[in-house]
Amino acid sequence: MKLYYTPGACSLSPHIVLREAGFNFELEKVDLATHRTETGADYYQINPKGYVPALVLDDGQVLTEGAAIVQYLADLKPDARLAPPAGTLERARMQEQLTFIAAELHKAYGALFSPAASQEAKAAARRDVARRLDHVERQFADGRSYLLGEQLTVADIYLFVVAGWAREKGIDLEARPKLAAFLKRVGDRPSVRAAQQTEGLIEEDQAA
């Protein structure tokens, strides 16, 4: 398999899942400004949507959309326990979390990543992101370690990536101590540190 990614983008989520579950895989970086990969390929020819991630399977098929990719990977490696079994209520609960992260939290950052957005639009986006992070903070009020309880799932990995953008966008995570503790908990995992190191997001000595 080959994952097309952009450092620090939402493609970090399937990158972590690939490592956490123990897959053999390749990586290829994508420049989203030029839509060229690091080998010079036209990324639109790989993923006509133009954004990351895209996962090329061993038979040449291409799977896109992070929430779909991470579930597919989890199902290929059930022993990693990164997703509850299909057809269970717990699986639906995980999909509920993935949908919220993708459709509400991830989407709310839009203006904060747009150079063309006005300061008013950026301020409104920060408020929207903050409200959604407050919802996440409340979910951890019962002392759970992860979104579904005590077992890490792909939803936690996606949340780690998307919620982690808050700091660089001027949104205070320390005011949400349970979420901040969750981010540290996930961030300390070897698979997470290795993925971040590979993408150049943390220094090598930090990932050791």
Q: What mean pLDDT do residues 69-79 have? A: 98
Residues present in the chain in total:
208
Percentage of the chain beyond pLDDT 70 is 98
Q: What mean pLDDT do residues 6-18 have? A: 98
| Lowest-pLDDT range of 52-56, 196-200, 202-206 | 202-206
Predicted confidence (pLDDT) at residue 205 exceeds the cutoff of 70: no
Q: What mean pLDDT do residues 5-12 have? A: 98
Q: With contact defined as beta carbons under 8 Å apart, do 20 and 188 qualify?
A: no
Q: With contact defined as beta carbons under 8 Å apart, do 33 and 113 qualify?
A: no
**Rounded Cα gap, residues 148 and 131, in angstroms:** 20
Predicted confidence (pLDDT) at residue 208 exceeds the cutoff of 50: no
Predicted confidence (pLDDT) at residue 206 exceeds the cutoff of 50: no
Strand ranges inside the chain, DSSP E: 2-5, 26-31, 36-37, 54-56, 62-64
The confidence band for 207, taking pLDDT boundaries of 50, 70 and 90, is very low
Neighbours of 55 (CB within 10 A): 26
pLDDT in tens, 93-126: 999 999 999 999 999 999 999 999 999 999 999 9
Tokens of 200: 């150049």
Single-letter amino acid code for the residue at 100: F
Predicted confidence (pLDDT) at residue 55 exceeds the cutoff of 70: yes
For the chain, the helix, strand and coil percentages under 3-state DSSP, each to the nearest 5: 55, 10, 35
Question: Rounded mean pLDDT of the chain?
Answer: 96
